Amino acid sequence: MDAKIVLLPGDGIGPEVTAEAVRVLHAVAQRFGHQFTTSSHLIGGCAIDAHGTALPDDTLAAAKASHAILLGAVGGPKWDSPTAKVRPEQGLLKIRKELGLFANLRPISVVPGLVELSPLKPEIVSGVDILFFRELTGGLYFGESGTRPAKDGSGEESFSTMIYSTGEIERIVRLAAQAARGRRKKVTSVDKANVLEVSRLWRRVFERVMKEEFPDVQSENILVDAAAMYLISRPTSFDVVVTENMFGDILTDEGSMLPGSMGLLPSASLGSSGPGLYEPIHGSAPDIAGQGIANPLATILASAMLLRHSLKLEQEAAAVEAAVHRVLKQGHRTKDLAAKDAPWVKTTAMGDLVIAALGK
């Protein structure tokens, strides 16, 4: 197939890890007979420096015209001033909104040979394979908010509103349930229905959609505080987890610690139609930028998600994932994954190893 892929390398180590993922994508195209056309555009801090905005119009236009978008990372100390009117993260929020990317997918799995990296006991994390679906464009982060004089006369009071509609809940639940059908056929919905009215609506809609549309998929409801505990005490009990924006923000960050390194975890942001946005979950790591030691595997695995979800190339996606696992099984490590005083490879060398494994 022919596909247009927009690259948003961004800041810090973003350009370094994105470059390796692009090399892998071109290797996939060559092996499987595809044509991937890539173009690079600015977002985040580098866009602020060049254009005064975190998401230039030409970047957004290119993204909208593409089949998929691969992002590196945004941000850094240079743009972290609390008084700044324009911040790198605004580019991410705007592109998600403009593209209607309401679902954030974050797979969390523990590679057998890297169980020792986890801060938890091997018997707890061995076999972990969770797929989170976080609603991305609603809830507390996007509801009405503000600051006003406090009613008790003590100064000010601030408020943020958590709000969800039936339709917003239905669409994320359907995506999660459809994914579960291709996995272990279990969906866990996380809410706070014992306290929050919005969670009670979430639970009612979840239960109705699962009963009427996905009777073949096992479903359960768990309160968010219990879910936070179960992620640590019995993470292998989860298959697909679906939840609202803030709960998902917190739980996916907690879950990212199960494998012991964020350098192995990708994510995808999807909408009802149009291009998806794919990225590693790690930040821009400005302290190691330009040294050639960044771990590119999360971004390479994000490119596998791009192949699977936007280009519908399941065989190719599985081949990339298998190549990454093969390289790790052979004992190759980047600096962040290596044991103390153990040998490790640089960013481009890891890319070379994955490409070599892809050809086998």
The set of catalytic residues is 141, 192, 225, 249, 253
Give the span between the Cα atoms of 307 and 299, in whole angstroms: 13
Confirm if 307 and 29 have CB atoms less than 8 A apart: no
Confirm if 320 and 303 have CB atoms less than 8 A apart: yes
Q: For residue 76, what are the CA distances in angstroms to 10, 57, 289? A: 10, 22, 10
List the structure tokens of 256.
Answer: 């990212």
Confirm if 192 and 224 have CB atoms less than 8 A apart: yes
DSSP symbols for 72-124: EE---GGG--TT-SS-THHHHHHHHHHTT--EEEEEEE--GGGGGGSSS-HHH
Rounded to the nearest angstrom, the gap between the alpha carbon of residue 54 and the centroid of all alpha carbons in its chain is 20
What DSSP designation does 189 have? E
6-22 burial code (b ≥16 CB/10 A, e <16):
bbbbbbbbbbbbbbbbb
Give the span between the Cα atoms of 73 and 90, in whole angstroms: 13
Radius of gyration of the chain from its Cα atoms, rounded to whole angstroms: 21
CB-based contacts of 296, cutoff 8 Å, min separation 6: 16, 17, 19, 20, 21, 334, 347, 350, 351
